[in-house]
């Protein structure tokens, strides 16, 4: 038995106190430096540094109190944690209910060789389904993970080791990071961070003349050239920033199968993470293709599994993410390896949906174009802009909307194989869900007024995993009911009327 799994009450590593102090003090260095560069009086700089140091010491003191009163122990039956100086809190998890042990180490933790350990039961009950140890030595954390998941801590896996009991399903190819540059969500994070930084250092930027220089450039340059330059600069900053964020999140990525029945994702450059997922909780996979990523031939891979927390850390992928943006072929092959299939199950011919589904999407597209057309027509009527520009904007809005409608219809499809229900939908973000038929526990049938007039329905497969319902949109009524009857024979028959 591991020396950690001996039933003795233990404290966490005291280096967590120094780790928190370092994390609090780190921003003081650039702040004090900027104050000195901008000519702030020396006494003000010294007072700021002293106050920052006092705050760091106070926070470290509070962490020390929490550390002193926090104890944990692991017995053959339970994992227990008790903490609290004034209000005592004693929580425990039966070991047979433990489904995941995830490790996270930020930069300050890595300096001191410690790791945060999160032990979960796979439930969705928030804090009651998870216990967290804030500071465990790295080697002990790896040993603890293997003991809790596999009942054997004699073999400790490290990021660089590849023991015989672990098989690698996918590794990061550095060229894949280029696909992350096309992630609009990461670019939005970068632009938001820049806007926040400009607001925080507004006085500094004004003092060094940045705003004055920009204003002078705008006044002396053609408006169209300024707009074009600003757009190009925004795109470049977004692309480079998205690449940098992806580098931090996915560097060292490795998807492996441990002990033959547990998937593990390791990743991270500055903050390292290790996420575990038992295969018995896996009900399928989801191939996600945002528009720009799809145009470049890329995709992402996510798990459809029970017990995964839906909330995610800030600026981090969901725990269900199995693979970063990568070439579609690599994602399909990894999906097949995860599901233990010889061929990618998502890469099967799909059944087309009726033309009525195209008419519905065309109607939505034309309605979506109305605000843009109105925004162009009103200024033209008032004489604020030329009529030709309003016509151009209106035509462009209609064409773009119709393009999205046709693309959304072309992406519609479903197929029922011996083991899986495969469904695909979406245009801005196309999603292909491969759901195990054994994981389907029921059906949710919905028909709006317009769907009934068109002879269509949306039928959703309910499951205990993922988002709980995975829908096949705008399928014909006979095909939808036949799909449900074939996937789960006998379930819908009592509710159907034969015609």
Among 367, 373, 364, 378, residue whose Cα is nearest residue 395: 373
Number of structural domains found in the chain: 3
Q: Is the dihedral of CA 445, 447, 448, 451 positive or negative?
A: positive
Among candidate residues 383, 410, 437, the one where a domain is terminated: 410
Distance CA 16, CA 233 (A): 41
Residue 161 is assigned to a structural domain of this protein: no
Give the pLDDT mean for 338-346.
Answer: 93
User: Looking at the predicted structure, is the pLDDT value of residue 324 above 70?
Assistant: yes
Residues 320 and 440 reside in one and the same domain: yes
Residue 217 is assigned to a structural domain of this protein: yes
Mean pLDDT estimate for the chain: 86
User: Looking at the predicted structure, is the pLDDT value of residue 234 above 50?
Assistant: yes
Domain region containing 461? 279-351+412-495
Q: Mapping DSSP to helix (H, G, I), strand (E, B) and coil, where does residue 309 land?
A: coil
Residues 425 and 490 reside in one and the same domain: yes
Would you state the pLDDT for residue 136? 92
Distance CA 261, CA 242 (A): 34
User: Looking at the predicted structure, is the pLDDT value of residue 157 above 60?
Assistant: no
User: Looking at the predicted structure, is the pLDDT value of residue 440 above 60?
Assistant: yes
Give the pLDDT mean for 155-159.
Answer: 45
**Alpha carbon distances (Å) from 8 to 92, 94, 120:** 14, 16, 21
Residues 341 and 421 reside in one and the same domain: yes
With a pLDDT cut of 70, the percent of the chain lying above it is 90
Residues 335 and 200 reside in one and the same domain: no
Among candidate residues 229, 249, 269, the one where a domain is terminated: 249
User: Looking at the predicted structure, is the pLDDT value of residue 407 above 70?
Assistant: yes
Residues 188 and 331 reside in one and the same domain: no
Strand stretches in 181-328, DSSP E: 254-258, 262-267, 272-278, 282-290, 298-305, 321-327
- Between 90-104, 307-321, 374-388, 402-416, the lowest mean confidence (pLDDT) is in 307-321
Residues 463 and 336 reside in one and the same domain: yes
Give the pLDDT mean for 390-401.
Answer: 91
Would you state the pLDDT for residue 153? 56
**284 — alpha (psi -120 to 50), left (phi > 0) or beta?**
left
Distant-in-sequence, close-in-space partners of 495: CB < 8 Å, separation ≥ 6: none
Would you state the pLDDT for residue 316? 65
Residue 106 is assigned to a structural domain of this protein: no
Would you state the pLDDT for residue 415? 95
DSSP state for residue 307 in the 8-state scheme:
T
Residues 417 and 317 reside in one and the same domain: yes
Residue 285 is assigned to a structural domain of this protein: yes
Among candidate residues 204, 228, 249, the one where a domain is terminated: 249
Residues 420 and 399 reside in one and the same domain: no
State the pLDDT confidence band at 155, using cuts at 50, 70 and 90. very low
Residue 424 is assigned to a structural domain of this protein: yes
Residues 335 and 188 reside in one and the same domain: no
Residues 346 and 471 reside in one and the same domain: yes
Among 283, 241, 256, 314, residue whose Cα is nearest residue 439: 283
Residue 150 is assigned to a structural domain of this protein: no
Give the pLDDT mean for 139-147.
Answer: 88
State the pLDDT confidence band at 344, using cuts at 50, 70 and 90. very high
Residues 347 and 199 reside in one and the same domain: no
pLDDT tens string 174-226? 999 999 888 888 888 888 888 887 776 677 667 667 777 777 777 777 777 87
Residue 147 is assigned to a structural domain of this protein: no
- Within 13 Å, how many C-alpha atoms sit on residue 231's CB side? 6
Q: Is the dihedral of CA 358, 364, 365, 366 positive or negative?
A: positive
Residue 459 is assigned to a structural domain of this protein: yes
DSSP state for residue 252 in the 8-state scheme:
T
Give the pLDDT mean for 454-475.
Answer: 93
Would you state the pLDDT for residue 4? 59
Would you state the pLDDT for residue 5? 63
**Alpha carbon distances (Å) from 155 to 3, 96, 118, 454:** 13, 20, 20, 61
Would you state the pLDDT for residue 313? 60
Residues 238 and 364 reside in one and the same domain: no
Q: Mapping DSSP to helix (H, G, I), strand (E, B) and coil, where does residue 361 land?
A: helix
């Amino acid at each position: 038995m591991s020396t950690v799994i001996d039933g003795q009450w233990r404290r966490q590593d005291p280096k967590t106190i120094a780790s928190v102090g370092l994390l609090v003090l780190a921003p003081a260095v650039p702040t004090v430096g900027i104050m000195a560069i901008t000519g702030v009086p020396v006494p003000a700089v010294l007072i700021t540094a002293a106050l920052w140091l006092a705050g760091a010491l106070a926070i470290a003191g509070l962490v020390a109190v929490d550390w002193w009163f926090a104890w944990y122990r692991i017995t053959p039956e339970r994992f227990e944690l008790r903490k609290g100086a004034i209000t005592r809190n004693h929580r425990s998890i039966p070991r047979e209910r433990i489904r995941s042990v995830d490790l996270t180490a930020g930069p300050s933790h890595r300096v001191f060789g410690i790791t945060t350990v999160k032990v979960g039961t796979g439930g969705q009950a928030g804090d009651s389904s998870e216990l967290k140890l804030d500071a465990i030595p790295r080697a002990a954390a790896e040993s603890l993970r293997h003991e809790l998941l596999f009942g054997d801590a004699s073999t400790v896996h490290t990021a660089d080791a590849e023991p015989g009991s672990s098989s690698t399903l996918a590794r990061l190819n550095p060229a894949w990071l280029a696909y992350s540059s096309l992630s609009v969500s990461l670019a939005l994070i970068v632009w938001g961070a820049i806007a926040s930084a400009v607001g925080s250092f507004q006085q500094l930027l004004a003092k060094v003349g940045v705003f004055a220089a920009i204003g002078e450039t705008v006044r002396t340059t053609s408006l169209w050239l300024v707009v074009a330059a600003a757009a190009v600069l925004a795109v470049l900053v977004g692309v480079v920033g998205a690449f940098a964020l992806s580098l931090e999140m996915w560097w060292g990525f490795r998807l492996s199968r441990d002990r033959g029945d547990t998937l593990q994702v390791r990743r991270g450059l500055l903050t390292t993470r290790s996420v575990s997922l038992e295969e018995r909780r896996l009900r399928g996979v989801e191939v996600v293709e945002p528009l720009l990523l799809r145009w470049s031939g890329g995709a992402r891979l996510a798990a459809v599994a029970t017990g995964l927390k839906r909330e995610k850390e800030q600026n981090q992928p969901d725990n269900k993410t199995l693979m970063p943006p990568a070439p579609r072929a690599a994602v399909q092959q990894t999906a097949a390896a995860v599901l233990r299939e010889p061929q990618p199950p998502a890469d099967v011919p799909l059944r087309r949906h009726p033309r009525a589904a195209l008419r519905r999407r065309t109607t939505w597209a034309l309605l979506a174009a109305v605000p843009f057309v109105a925004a162009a027509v009103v200024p033209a009527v008032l004489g604020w802009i030329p009529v030709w520009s309003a016509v151009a904007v209106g035509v462009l809005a209609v064409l773009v909307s119709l393009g999205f409608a046709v693309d959304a219809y072309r992406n519609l499809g479903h197929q029922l194989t011996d083991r899986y229900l495969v469904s695909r939908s979406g245009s801005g973000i196309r999603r292909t869900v491969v759901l195990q038929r054994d994981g389907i526990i029921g059906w949710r049938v919905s028909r709006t007024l317009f769907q009934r007039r068109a002879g269509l329905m949306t039928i959703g497969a309910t499951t205990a995993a993922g988002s709980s319902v995975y829908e096949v949109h705008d399928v014909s009524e006979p095909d939808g009911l036949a799909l449900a009857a074939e996937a789960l024979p006998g379930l819908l028959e009592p509710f159907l009327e034969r015609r």
